[in-house]
Chains A and B, each alone.
Chain A
Amino acid sequence: MIRLAWRYLWSSPLTTALNLLLLTLGLAAVTFVLRASAQVEAGLRRDLASLDLVVGAKGSPMQIMLAGVFHLDSPTGNIPLRTLQALQQQPLVAQAVPLSLGDSYQGHRIVGTTPEYLDLYAAHFAHGHVWAAPMQAVLGAEVARRSGLAVGDRFAGSHGLGEGGEAHADRQFEVVGVLAESGSVLDRLVLTDIASVWAVHAGHAGAHETNPANEPNEAVHDDGDAREITLALVRYRSPLGAALLPRWVNAQQGLQSAAPALETARLMRLVGAGTEVLQGFGIVLLVAAGLSVWVALLHAVRARQGDLAMLRMLGAPAHRIATLIALEALMLAGMALLLGLAAGHGLVMLLEHLLAQRQSLRLGAMGVSEAEWLVPLLASGMALAAAAWPAWRAYRLDVTTLLQAPR
């Protein structure tokens, strides 16, 4: 029966190919949207770790969150080191981790911090160990892969967060560790002791008070009270922190808090509009494909009614004839499902490649997202809906008339 349905399906190769193309495009669009949005969300959640608050210089909370958590934007400015100390002394704060930005290596940000930052992401070492002194660096997996640097190698950072900045050739970092791939933001960062950033920029104190695009703050530092960091990542000790701490931070002069969860939700809402348009486009394609399959099957039943009547005459029960028609639609949907899933994942892979080139979010094209179970359901549901009426027509064939009357 399956073989017969297959042969009938391809007895009109052009129609079948066109329907297959339409269905595939629709399913690929839906797969892409489901997979990409799930991966973006998972990537964002991974990078959020267990962070509750990001504290930076006055400016846009979204920018602070993007710069501090995802390392996608320039920071809003620097904040005094004593702010970190003040935060750490707050009873509502369980942990406050400093980040100092300003330099990069081949486009990868050099982040001055403490080993606690690695703990936030439960990072594991592929090689080496965490820094023990200034000017020692730990590379994220992607940085190590792209740069070819290994434990024991030395490199010099360049000024600014983008590529092409002036190199600090006189102050070289030594690679002491390489992190195992985690899929998180750590993969694309160069991590070092916060004192390294201060050391590299010694003598540049007060160089930048504001932060023009792609010309970020050097986390500046003379000594004592003049030392600065770029951002502080905060974890609350209790949920009460969410109610009180942002208010306290925002009341301080020159400080701005950003709640990553809230800002990410806002970001997803913005991205969501585009996602919905794409998803809508996929659904429209699917509906068009469903109608096309419906018309093709109706036409096929009409053109083949003699053959189907003959099958009835040969002893096939009416339900088997109807099943034959449904099988044709299901086979078409099955092929489109495989091609659509492959194309959808291929597109996600392409997006992942593009994002990786721009050192943005990490996506995974392999594997299956939770929401993707919808795709086969959608494909088979649509196939059965398109086949229902033609199958009913086939079920109700007047065999006697069809076999006797000339067509």
Chain B
Amino acid sequence: MLGWSELVHRYAGATDTLRYVDFSLDRGCHLLLRGASGAGKSTLLALLSGLLRVQQGELEVAGTSLVGMSARALDAWRGETLGVVPQRLHLSDALTVAENLALPALAAGQRADTARAAELLEGLQIAELADRRPHQLSVGQAQRVALARALMRRPRLLLADEPSANLDDDHALHMLALLLDAAEREGCTLVIASHDGRVIEALSAREDVAEVVLRGLQPSGQMEVPTGSSTSYWADEGLA
């Protein structure tokens, strides 16, 4: 479902090379990506979402190898396969909630699926907000709208980047519950990138969540994935 081997990435002009140790996620499991700033988490997320091209090694996401795919093919694949809830929600204030939900179809050059939007808003209990603008929403409501937008095209992989950042405990846990619930309902794999202790604690207790720790420039030893994964993982980042 999701995995990589001998994955290496080097930014243009940089001397450091990011090396990702081989990893594979079992079907039906979710993934928690941990790591402090600069540990290579953002790069891995960009690789997973096809925003960065694979330079070396293998990377398979949702059953598709991203190696050698053209930029255009990666764009199309991303639209069809991924649902993304970014750290900042990036709901467009120029549009209503319903129109924000039409963006994924629009990005792919397709007609908006209004029935799907209504179904998701209903499922997330925010149907009455369809005609509001994002600035008229509470934090919790905005999170639900962002989640609905991510689910619009029935993604196979739901990617949430720091979903609890800047949220109080209640909102953070509520958001996490929404993500897990949505992933279960939609039958998609959830990938959460976070270094928030509350999220880590909540997910560590689940058997269906594999945890990957990116340790940055420090050489690290092999690390057992806590639960649910068929493989062990260690992360390293060092000089090429």
Q: What is the interface of chain A, defined by CB distance below 8 A to chain B? A: 1, 4, 7-8, 10-11, 304, 306-307, 309-318, 320, 399-400, 403-404, 406-407
B107: interface (CB < 8 Å): yes
A8 to B92, CA, bound (A): 9
Q: Known contacts being A310-B103, A311-B103, A315-B75, is A403 close to B90, with CB within 8 Å?
A: yes
| CB nearest neighbor in B for A319 | B72
Set A315, A316, A404: member contacting B86, Cβ < 8 A: A404
Q: Known contacts being A11-B93, A315-B104, A316-B107, is A403 close to B78, with CB within 8 Å?
A: no
A147 to B51, CA, bound (A): 78
Whether the Cβ atoms of B90 and A316 lie closer than 8 Å is: no
Whether the Cβ atoms of A306 and B90 lie closer than 8 Å is: yes
A31 to B117, CA, bound (A): 46
Number of B positions contacting A (CB below 8 A): 34
Residues in B neighbouring A306, C-beta threshold 8 A:
88, 90
| CB nearest neighbor in B for A403 | B86
A146 to B178, CA, bound (A): 79
B235: interface (CB < 8 Å): no
Question: Given A10-B94, A404-B42, 18 more contacts at CB 8 Å?
Answer: A4-B95, A7-B95, A7-B99, A8-B94, A11-B94, A306-B90, A311-B103, A314-B78, A314-B104, A314-B149, A315-B108, A316-B75, A316-B107, A400-B42, A400-B45, A403-B84, A403-B161, A406-B87
In B92-133, which residues have CB < 8 Å from any A CB? 92-95, 99, 103-104, 106-109
Q: Known contacts being A1-B106, A313-B49, A316-B107, is A404 close to B78, with CB within 8 Å?
A: no
In B187-210, which residues have CB < 8 Å from any A CB? none
Q: How far is the CB of B109 from chain A (nearest CB, A)?
A: 7
7 residue pairs of the A-B complex, CB under 8 angstroms, read A1-B106, A311-B103, A312-B51, A312-B107, A314-B108, A399-B51, A400-B45
Q: How far is the CB of A99 from chain B (nearest CB, A)?
A: 68
Set A4, A307, A400: member contacting B90, Cβ < 8 A: A307
Set B78, B93, B94, B95: member contacting A313, Cβ < 8 A: B78
Between B71, B72, B80, B88, the greatest number of chain A beta carbons within 10 A of the residue's beta carbon is seen for: B88
A174 to B144, CA, bound (A): 88
Task: Convert B39-79 into 0s and 1s, putting 1 for each residue whose CB lies closer than 8 angstroms to a CB of A.
Answer: 00010011001011000000000000000000110011111
Residues in B neighbouring A400, C-beta threshold 8 A:
42, 45-46, 51-52
A406 to B87, CA, bound (A): 8
Residues in A neighbouring B99, C-beta threshold 8 A:
4, 7
Q: How far is the CB of B97 from chain A (nearest CB, A)?
A: 13
Q: How far is the CB of A15 from chain B (nearest CB, A)?
A: 13
Whether the Cβ atoms of B75 and A307 lie closer than 8 Å is: no
Residues in B neighbouring A406, C-beta threshold 8 A:
87-88
Q: Known contacts being A7-B95, A11-B94, is A315 close to B87, with CB within 8 Å?
A: no
Set A307, A315, A320: member contacting B78, Cβ < 8 A: A315
Q: How far is the CB of A280 from chain B (nearest CB, A)?
A: 37
Residues in B neighbouring A315, C-beta threshold 8 A:
75-80, 82, 104, 107-108
Residues in A neighbouring B92, C-beta threshold 8 A:
304, 307, 310
| CB nearest neighbor in A for B37 | A404
Residues in A neighbouring B86, C-beta threshold 8 A:
310, 313, 403-404
Whether the Cβ atoms of B108 and A310 lie closer than 8 Å is: no
Q: Known contacts being A7-B95, A315-B104, is A404 close to B161, with CB within 8 Å?
A: yes
Whether the Cβ atoms of B94 and A314 lie closer than 8 Å is: no
A372 to B45, CA, bound (A): 54
A304 to B95, CA, bound (A): 12
A306 to B146, CA, bound (A): 14
Residues in A neighbouring B95, C-beta threshold 8 A:
4, 7
Residues in B neighbouring A404, C-beta threshold 8 A:
42, 45, 86-87, 161-162
| CB nearest neighbor in B for A306 | B90
A403 to B88, CA, bound (A): 7
| CB nearest neighbor in B for A406 | B88
A320 to B106, CA, bound (A): 10
A318 to B79, CA, bound (A): 13
List of 10 A-B pairs having minimum Cβ-Cβ separation, nearest first: A315-B79, A316-B107, A11-B94, A314-B107, A310-B90, A400-B46, A403-B86, A317-B75, A307-B92, A314-B104
Task: Convert B115-159 into 0s and 1s, putting 1 for each residue whose CB lies closer than 8 angstroms to a CB of A.
Answer: 000000000000000000000000000000000010000000000
Residues in B neighbouring A4, C-beta threshold 8 A:
95, 99, 103, 106
A404 to B75, CA, bound (A): 19
Residues in A neighbouring B77, C-beta threshold 8 A:
315
Q: How far is the CB of A318 from chain B (nearest CB, A)?
A: 8
Residues in A neighbouring B94, C-beta threshold 8 A:
7-8, 10-11, 304, 307
A312 to B49, CA, bound (A): 11
Residues in B neighbouring A403, C-beta threshold 8 A:
84, 86-88, 90, 161
Whether the Cβ atoms of A309 and B107 lie closer than 8 Å is: no
Whether the Cβ atoms of A311 and B93 lie closer than 8 Å is: no
A304 to B94, CA, bound (A): 10
Residues in A neighbouring B52, C-beta threshold 8 A:
400
Residues in A neighbouring B72, C-beta threshold 8 A:
317
| CB nearest neighbor in A for B193 | A404
| CB nearest neighbor in B for A324 | B106
Q: How far is the CB of A260 from chain B (nearest CB, A)?
A: 60
Q: How far is the CB of A321 from chain B (nearest CB, A)?
A: 9
Residues in B neighbouring A313, C-beta threshold 8 A:
49, 51, 78, 82, 84, 86
Q: How far is the CB of B117 from chain A (nearest CB, A)?
A: 14
Residues in A neighbouring B75, C-beta threshold 8 A:
312, 315-318
Q: How far is the CB of B38 from chain A (nearest CB, A)?
A: 12
A403 to B49, CA, bound (A): 12
